[in-house]
Amino acid sequence: MKPVAARTGVGFQNILFATDFSEAAGNAIPYVKAFAKHFEANLVALHVHPPVVNPMTPPETWAADAAAAEARDRLRREQLLGTFAGIPTQVVIEAGSIQTALQAAIGKYHTDLVVIGTRGRTGLGKLLLGSMAEDILRTASCPVLTVGPHADPSRESNGQIREILYATDFASPSSKPAAYAVSLAEEFQARLVLLHVVPRQEANDLVMASDVVEPARGLLEKLVPADATAWCKPEYFVEVGNPAERILELAHLRQPDLIILGVKAGGGVPGAATHLPFATVHKVVSQASSPVLTVRN
């Protein structure tokens, strides 16, 4: 894996906040404000609702339904503009599919960061994020900042990022996620903690997990250019065990302001093609007390 070039200049100039006006979406607002103000970014606040006209209802009610929806949309538009006063904000409210509308908005507004809030929940023994958040994580063509149910929005009151945790499994040769980690550490003059988790070996494995700890640490060190150590204060950790559990344990210990994970483009079965296993991303986003920035390779 190649070292990340110093001063990559990664930044966010066009931020898209996808909201359904739920409490979970509201928890993401402080992070939207913090990033938009720090980077002096333009903001698009996107709300997509189901079509107003329901063909299963009597036609004579359609006009009243449309009028009520228009009034509701007008109030929501005013609410969003008030929430983000002082930030260049364009409110987009439309009916249709959130996934279709989101992809169109990302391209139309040259979005380089999507922010969402999710209420991560468990059911039938499987960790779930909610269909909208999962689809966005898998398919968005730009980085996604996901604020999970345990993230503390009050920590973003001053808009500062003091420590970043970047976890990688070296499954992809792309250095794009690491570039974001290094560049954002530079931008905020933050400590950068790099983590690789070595899965526990199976009984028939020829290589012991302990044998790859030092080589893995060397790979982590190569991700950060030598001249970057003066401003991003890198620390390197190699752990053995379950990736999600180890990421969460280190995050609990260090309390980073941001966690960064690399993901591959989604396709086919949800989560089947990911840099870190999608179950790992699910668990980290749903349980971490920090927001998680996922970067597609």
Q: Three-class SS string for the chain?
A: CCCCCCCCCCCCCEEEEECCCCHHHHHHHHHHHHHHHHHCCEEEEEEEECCCCCCCCCHHHHHHHHHHHHHHHHHHHHHHHHHCCCCCEEEEEEECCHHHHHHHHHHHCCCCEEEEECCCEEECCEEECCHHHHHHHHHCCCCEEEECCCCCHHHHCCCCCCEEEEECCCCCCCCHHHHHHHHHHHHHCCEEEEEEEECCCCCCCCCCHHHHHHHHHHHHHHCCCHHHHHHHCEEEEEEECCHHHHHHHHHHHHCCCEEEEEECCCCCCCCCCCCCCHHHHHHHHHHCCCCEEEEEC
Higher pLDDT, 140 or 38: 38
Q: Check pLDDT > 60 for residue 61.
A: yes
pLDDT digits (tens, 9 = 90+) for 173-217: 568 899 999 999 988 889 999 999 988 766 555 445 557 788 888
Q: In the chain, what are the domains? A: 14-296 (3.40.50.12370)
Read off the pLDDT band of 104 (50, 70, 90). very high
Question: What is the per-residue pLDDT for 60?
Answer: 74
The DSSP bridge partners found for residue 90 are 44
pLDDT digits (tens, 9 = 90+) for 239-279: 989 999 999 999 999 999 999 998 865 544 443 333 455 67
The whole-angstrom distance between residue 157's C-alpha and the CA centroid of its chain comes to 19
pLDDT digits (tens, 9 = 90+) for 282-294: 889 889 999 999 9
Question: What is the per-residue pLDDT for 80?
Answer: 97
Pairing of strands 126-128, 121-123: antiparallel
Cβ neighbourhood burial of 225 (10 Å; 0-12, 13-18, 19+): middle
Of the spans 122-126, 147-151, 250-254, which averages the highest pLDDT? 250-254
Question: What is the per-residue pLDDT for 64?
Answer: 79
Residue 147 CB: number of other CB atoms within 10 A? Answer: 28
Q: Check pLDDT > 60 for residue 107.
A: yes
Question: What is the per-residue pLDDT for 173?
Answer: 59
The DSSP bridge partners found for residue 144 are 114, 294
Among the listed ranges 50-59, 123-132, 190-199, which one has the minimum average pLDDT value?
Answer: 123-132
Among the listed ranges 84-93, 155-164, 203-212, 257-266, which one has the minimum average pLDDT value?
Answer: 203-212
Q: Check pLDDT > 60 for residue 18.
A: yes
Q: What is the pTM of this model?
A: 0.86
pLDDT digits (tens, 9 = 90+) for 217-247: 888 989 988 877 777 779 999 998 999 999 9
Question: What is the per-residue pLDDT for 196?
Answer: 93
- Give the mean model confidence (pLDDT) for residues 78-93: 97
Question: What is the per-residue pLDDT for 106?
Answer: 95
Question: What is the per-residue pLDDT for 265?
Answer: 58
Read off the pLDDT band of 126 (50, 70, 90). very low
Q: Check pLDDT > 90 for residue 14.
A: yes
Read off the pLDDT band of 72 (50, 70, 90). very high
Question: What is the per-residue pLDDT for 233?
Answer: 76
Q: Check pLDDT > 90 for residue 6.
A: no
CA angle 199, 201, 207 (to 5 degrees): 110
